[in-house]
Amino acid sequence: MKYSLLLFFIVSYSQTPEIITLPEFYCGKGVIFDKSDHIPLDGYYYLKQFTPSIEQIKRSEKIMYQDYYTFYVRLFEKNGQNISSINKKYKLPKKVKNKFKKYYRQYAGYINKDRDTIVFIRLMNFSNQKQANKHFRSWDKFIDFGFGDWYEKNQTYRSINLNQNKIDY
């Protein structure tokens, strides 16, 4: 029997997060979490939170598409893995865009300890609306992290470093 676990991490939020659509990047919807919302991005590199602007989000989407393949090359090399297993079609930004076109987004921003501006993106696969609505019920209200087979196949996260124009680990 397969199990999935969904954890909700926004402790409080001050207002309803803003829903956006960016048809030049994807078919679904996105939500921008305000800097006053408690987002679970605390950690060694986290300094403070900010509300990403539409322009920062668009730039983050472009960087994600352009740096996707290189990000995996860096990650695999860092972990001593063979990069030949990375699908070379993702060298092309339009292939990455197509891969994530039916994924809804959650956006949050933070400044890291190096004072770099980071846009955090959670991508959720909504190509099967019925399953997505079941598993991502409150996607527009909470950043939640699901664990288990279904979530591993249908969600991913990216931290986009706007200062360095790349995807961070």
| DSSP labels, 112-123 | ETT--EEEEEEE
| pLDDT, average across residues 104-133 | 95
Q: For the chain, how big is the Rg over CA atoms in Å?
A: 16
Which tens digit of pLDDT belongs to each residue from 70-118?
A: 999 999 999 999 999 999 999 999 999 999 999 999 999 999 999 999 9
Name every residue whose Cβ is closer than 8 Å to that of residue 6 and which is 6 or more positions away in sequence.
135, 144, 145, 146, 147, 151
pLDDT in tens, 43-64: 667 889 999 999 999 999 999 9
Q: Contacts from 131-139 at CB under 8 Å and sequence distance 24+? A: 132/104, 135/4, 135/6, 136/104, 138/8, 139/31, 139/104, 139/106
Find out whether 46 and 112 touch, Cβ atoms under 8 Å: yes
Give me the mean pLDDT over the 123-138 stretch.
95
SS3 108: strand
CA pair distance 26, 54, nearest whole angstrom: 14
Q: Where do we find the tokens 């961070």? A: 168
pTM over 0.75: yes
Give the CA angle between residues 128, 129, 132 to the nearest 5°.
85
What percentage of the chain carries pLDDT values higher than 90? 77
d(CA 145, CA 147): 7
Decide if pLDDT at 12 tops 50. no
pLDDT of residue 9: 44
What confidence category does residue 11 fall into, taking pLDDT thresholds of 50, 70 and 90? very low
Region 155-166 average pLDDT: 96
